[in-house]
Amino acid sequence: MALLVHKYGGTSVGTAERIQQVARKVAAARANGDQIVVVVSAMSGETNRLVGLAAAISERPIPREMDVLLSTGEQVTIALLSMALHELEVPARSYTGGQVRILTDTAHTKARIQSIDAAQIRGDLDAGRIVIVAGFQGVSEQGDITTLGRGGSDTTAVALAAALNADECQIYTDVDGVYTTDPRVEPKARRMPRITFEEMLEMASLGSKVLQIRAVEFAGKYQVPLRVLSTFEDGPGTLITLEEDSVEQPIISGIAFNRDEAQLTIKGVPDSPGIAAAVLSPIGEANIEVDMIVQNVASDGSTDLTFTVNRPEYERAKELLQQIANTMGAREVLGSVDIVKISVVGVGMRSHANVAGRMFAVLAEEGINIRLISTSEIKISVVVEDKYLELAVRALHRAFDLEASPE
Ligand code: ADP
Ligand code: ASP
Ligand code: MG
């Protein structure tokens, strides 16, 4: 008998029929003799709808109330799934995050899980029930509802799997695994039977939203066996594993992209020590995360500084940067939101030289201009104009042989 945590995303529970389909799937797993804990997301589109309602009321909704609002989406699906299981005569009980004491810090809208009280869940499992837990939500020490950031149900599932020492955490979604790149952008993308935690973490951090970053971090840290599979078709999916050195690694495992960034440039700042700090500290103090940073070589005693921020924070960052520019007498502030960051990821890069050169050559052949570059040991990222996204991803996918790599 195995203990499995299943997680079903928004599309998988998007209609009453789909919730019934999930109920049948979960019931079949139980009939197989396994103990099942199910984590569900809100019905697809629901969290966005709630975000929209809040935006119609308030320009900057109070985070505490935002969490009270957003957590309702998942409360709907846990109840409906439990009802659907009862219709199949399968005993089940639904719980909100607070009810199973998913204790988090108080960082509303992006809280981190600190502990989970597994006793209640174990009791239900031992009594033969399926336990259904609302994803994406927890409770603070003070008893306030918190949420874990967009895509956070993945993290709920992994955290529960860790707390229960589950045999596997299975993330059921609308694709049948993790692909070499988003199959919506490159239909020739290939499902990977396995990917290392390290690579999956890079892919997620660089924009592949198939798994929330924190879920991968958590699974890596607590060594939770994690698998991504399709809700709608049977198959082995993709197993996220520790690094395997027995198999020869391809140079590049996957291509990730992120449309959620925006670029800002401050031009003509004096080229003197402390200038990067003077520009970027106020941005950081305003809690705006800066991703890529490039400072040009100075000429005539002045220089330009370019960086990227998350798109929702672009307007605020631009306003701040304008103020900074005025104070230090910079020439001008420029910005653009029509950018995308594209990254190639692979642990095989460690043992191969000139992956960057190849990547840049491929983009050059397509006439795509690179605006920013950053590299780390296992990834190379470039920022390009967003109209080139498909072209760039497909050209790189082909050039790095991702379609044809052996399983
Ligand atoms: P859920 O609602 O089930 O949590 P998500 O929309 O969060 O589903 O994640 C699944 C989606 O992730 C897929 O539909 C796919 O478009 C996207 N995706 C992005 N990159 C990848 C990738 N490398 N492999 C598979 N899917 C990816
Ligand atoms: N419902 C939340 C969201 O849309 C959490 C999740 O689906 O994982 O982000
Ligand atoms: Mg998701």
CATH number, domain at 379?
A: 3.30.2130.10
Per-residue confidence (pLDDT) for residue 1, from 0 to 100: 87
Identity of the residue numbered 4 = L
Residue in 8, 145, 150, 213 to alter for ligand 2 test, most ligand atoms within 8 A of Cβ: 150
Domain end point (choices 144, 174, 204): 174
Q: Which residues of 234-252 are buried (b: 16+ CB within 10 A; e: fewer)?
A: eeebbbbbeeeeeeebbbb
Per-residue confidence (pLDDT) for residue 362, from 0 to 100: 97
Residue 210 lies in a domain: no
- Nearest ligand for residue 150 CA: 2
Rg, C-alpha atoms of the chain: 23
Number of domains into which the chain is organized: 2
Domain end point (choices 136, 156, 174): 174
Residues 150 and 43 reside in one and the same domain? yes
- pTM for the full model? 0.93
Residues 19 and 158 reside in one and the same domain? yes
Per-residue confidence (pLDDT) for residue 26, from 0 to 100: 98
Residues 44 and 169 reside in one and the same domain? yes
Residues 265 and 142 reside in one and the same domain? no
Q: Which domain holds residue 289?
A: 255-404
Q: Which long-range contacts (CB under 8 A, 24 or more apart) does 74-78 make?
A: 74/40, 74/41, 74/42, 74/134, 74/135, 74/136, 74/137, 74/153, 75/134, 76/42, 76/43, 76/46, 77/13, 77/19, 77/40, 77/41, 77/42, 77/43, 77/134, 78/40, 78/132, 78/133, 78/134
Residues 280 and 143 reside in one and the same domain? no
Residue 249 lies in a domain: no
Per-residue confidence (pLDDT) for residue 296, from 0 to 100: 84
Q: Write out the two tokens for 245.
A: 């050195």
Q: Got the DSSP string for 43-92?
A: PTTHHHHHHHHHHHH-SS--HHHHHHHHHHHHHHHHHHHHHHHHHTT--E
Per-residue confidence (pLDDT) for residue 136, from 0 to 100: 98
- The verdict on the CB of residue 136 being under 6 Å from ligand 2 is yes
Residues 170 and 262 reside in one and the same domain? no
Residues 29 and 168 reside in one and the same domain? yes
- Tell me the pLDDT tens digit for each residue of 142-167: 999 999 999 999 999 999 999 999 99
138: Cβ–Cβ under 8 A, 6 or more apart, which residues?
A: 97, 98, 102, 103, 104, 111, 113, 145, 146, 147, 148, 156
- Nearest ligand for residue 153 CA: 2
Alpha-carbon span 194 to 158, nearest angstrom: 18
- Nearest ligand for residue 70 CA: 2
Kindly give the distance from the C-alpha atom of residue 119 to the centroid of ligand 2, in angstroms, as a whole number.
26
Residues 165 and 259 reside in one and the same domain? no
- The verdict on the CB of residue 42 being under 6 Å from ligand 2 is yes
Domain end point (choices 122, 154, 174): 174
Kindly give the distance from the C-alpha atom of residue 134 to the centroid of ligand 2, in angstroms, as a whole number.
10
Residues of the chain with pLDDT under 50: 405-407
Q: Are the C-beta atoms of 392 and 400 separated by less than 8 Å?
A: no
300 three-state secondary structure: coil
Residue 220 lies in a domain: no
201: Cβ–Cβ under 8 A, 6 or more apart, which residues?
A: 213, 216, 217, 220
Residue 214 lies in a domain: no
Per-residue confidence (pLDDT) for residue 404, from 0 to 100: 59
Instruction: Report the Cα 340 to chain-centroid distance in Å.
Output: 16
Residue 185 lies in a domain: no
Kindly give the distance from the C-alpha atom of residue 212 to the centroid of ligand 3, in angstroms, as a whole number.
7
Residues 144 and 284 reside in one and the same domain? no
Neighbour tally for 222: CB within 10 Å: 13
The CATH number for 107's domain is 3.40.1160.10
- The verdict on the CB of residue 135 being under 6 Å from ligand 2 is yes
156 burial via Cβ count (<10 Å: 0-12, 13-18, 19+): buried
Residue 242 lies in a domain: no
Alpha-carbon span 197 to 199, nearest angstrom: 6
Kindly give the distance from the C-alpha atom of residue 172 to the centroid of ligand 3, in angstroms, as a whole number.
10
226 three-state secondary structure: strand
Residue 378 lies in a domain: yes
Residues 141 and 11 reside in one and the same domain? yes
Residues 16 and 150 reside in one and the same domain? yes
Residues 151 and 40 reside in one and the same domain? yes
Phi-psi region of 165 (alpha: psi -120 to 50; beta: other; left: phi over 0): left
Residue 193 lies in a domain: no
Question: Beta partners for 320?
Answer: none
- The verdict on the CB of residue 152 being under 6 Å from ligand 2 is yes
Alpha-carbon span 399 to 16, nearest angstrom: 43
